[in-house]
A and B are shown apart, each in its own frame.
Chain A
């Protein structure tokens, strides 16, 4: 059974960088699939952040691209998110996930982490 677990600070100061890690168990990232990050502000809908392949190939939401970096560490079987210059608008539950499918026919999410709340506040 594939399991994903987010970890990182629950409180980040404005203008600083938000950093989260997703530890994957039950499946080796090196074996394939894309891995991604999604966020959900309190009481609002889901927003796509970006995804990464084990080779390091990345895709980002254009609206966040200038502030986002997603990286992968296959030796630790985990991938990470960095979001710079955060503001209160970045306060959200952040989910990591595994993506199925192909670029040509569309991808979907088959496994989600439980999510972690990150609050941006001084």
Chain B
């Protein structure tokens, strides 16, 4: 089965740029989606199909995908961006999630 690897945690200074990676075998050939989850809440889609932002998601959120790594980039990080982030792909008619990355804004 397909596996996705994310760092357990990423820290970023307020106002700086955070990058969260999602590794997988030839992940560049798949569409990658990203979700933000704050404590006690359901996940929220922030990026779909590698680099598309749903309505209402700030332009500070962007995504890229190439080779064996997909990346979620959060520019000008704010305190409200502190959350868990999950990448997801679709493989063999099932959703596969990464293990999640906790983003801390310092």
Q: How many A-B residue pairs have CB under 8 A?
A: 69
Most chain B CB inside 10 Å of its own CB: which residue of A38, A45, A47:
A45
B86 & A46 in contact (Cβ 8 Å cutoff)? yes
A112 & B90 in contact (Cβ 8 Å cutoff)? no
A36 & B95 in contact (Cβ 8 Å cutoff)? yes
A105 at the interface (CB under 8 A from B): yes
Partner of B100, one of A45, A60, A99: A45
Task: Give the interface size class of chain B.
Answer: 20 to 34
Q: How long is the Cα–Cα vector from A60 to B92 in the complex, in angstroms?
A: 10
Mask, B17-46, CB within 8 Å of A = 1, is 000000000000011010100000111110
In this complex, how many residues of chain A approach chain B with their Cβ under 8 Å: the count is: 27
| Residues of A bordering B, CB below 8 Å | 36, 38, 45-48, 50-51, 59-62, 95, 99-101, 103, 105-110, 112-115
| Residues of B bordering A, CB below 8 Å | 1, 30-31, 33, 35, 41-45, 48-49, 54, 86, 88-90, 93-100
